Structure 1
Amino acid sequence: MEIKTIDLIRNSELLNQVTIDYLRKLIVRYPYYQTLRLLLLENLYKVHDTQFNEELRHSAPLLADRSVLFQLVEGEHYEIEQQVAENPVGAESGDRTLSLIDEYLCDVPQEKAARKTTSVEAAQDYATYLIQLDEEEEKALYPKAARAGDEEKTPARKHRIVLTEKDDSEMQLPSEEEPQKEDFFTETLAQIYIRQHKYELALEIIRALSLNNPKKNSYFADQIRFLEKLILINKNKV
């Protein structure tokens, strides 16, 4: 039986072990044909092929809209609940969707320093995510503020983060005798801009840090990617 691509697009029930080889040959001829790559991924997923994960990581960067891929493979496991009038869909739900997509497709490397392991899925917004990641650095820079925060905590809230308005206003610039703390300060300043929803200013700082710290490119690239998404979401609100 002759296989036709248009038939596979119209009816995914035709996808089987035989069509995998057919699609792979077409992709060799047309490597940037996104429809073929989506079909191949769906085919591998449907027949439970062991090469699915490898093909997924290889093809994901080549797709213009990865949300289509997420919907194709995992969409049936996630249902978006209809929001009532008093609780319209806002930035929180948008961040949640983007986090699910990125967490599924990307295995983000963790910092080797003494940082908390934080699930992106558990974070409701990027500001909270950054605060949890860099809590220890802020304590190292501002030990007095950290001790004051610890005194306010009750035993039941021992591991919770306490944020006060004084944290932002009392921050002091590091002296010239402490150049090793400059990167920590600028990254903390970026976090302040994020809390104030000044995402463009925070993005400029993170990009500068990325250029000055080539060894931490992957870490800063993750932050840059999230900030760009926040900026885009804010623009779409207007």
Structure 2
Amino acid sequence: MVITKETYHHWMLNPKNLGAIESKELLQLTKEHPYCQSSQLLFLKSLHNQESIHFNKQLKFAAAIAGDRQQLFYLITEKDKRHKQKPIVKKNEKIVIEKEKAKEQLGIGQPLQFDNEEKHSFSEWLKLSQAKPIERKDKTFKKDYSLNDKLNLIEEFVAKDRPKPKKEEFFSPSSQAKKSVEDQMTFVTETLARVYLEQEHYEKAKLAYHQLSLKYPEKSSFFAGQIELIDKLLKDK
């Protein structure tokens, strides 16, 4: 078969497509022109594409006559590099996009909307430890009470009522470790889960939503969706 200029030029532009048929033609060409560098390289590439057992033998000869061994290396490895790198780039881009969408859906970065009920429990704790004893002073203390008597009565009142509201204990790491699962569920709120998300404590946020789904089964599908979004943030982390 006569190899035309167009055919040879096509091989030069598309070495990754060289197969068994082209390999036979190139073998004949290298026999006719043993020191033609381009023909030897194309023949080598065709053997590489086929994973031929003759590749190593041809590689030694092609390397010996190659004017630029970097070009030789590039020719042989170009296909592998392209196939290995592209999926990695696409995978990384996909993960980044998924994480950004998950953050947006979870409302990360948005102002926290505190539940009025949660704020009320905290203010009640403040009133118990500070305001209530002061408010009751005029009603329960007689003017002739000594200062020590008044302080003792206030301390007794606070000590008696303090154990009732316990929500402030949730924020103590040491006491939290000692609480049972039931106790933890009592204090878990959606706001707390959001705080965990803002702090990038994704595992804690995930646990919080799991506990909330047990506490409020009617909203379990919503919490399951939140957990699914958090799993995307935890991917490859």
**TM-score for the superposition, normalised by structure 1:** 0.30
**TM-score for the superposition, normalised by structure 2:** 0.30
More helix per residue: 2
Structure exhibiting the larger radius of gyration computed from Cα positions: 2
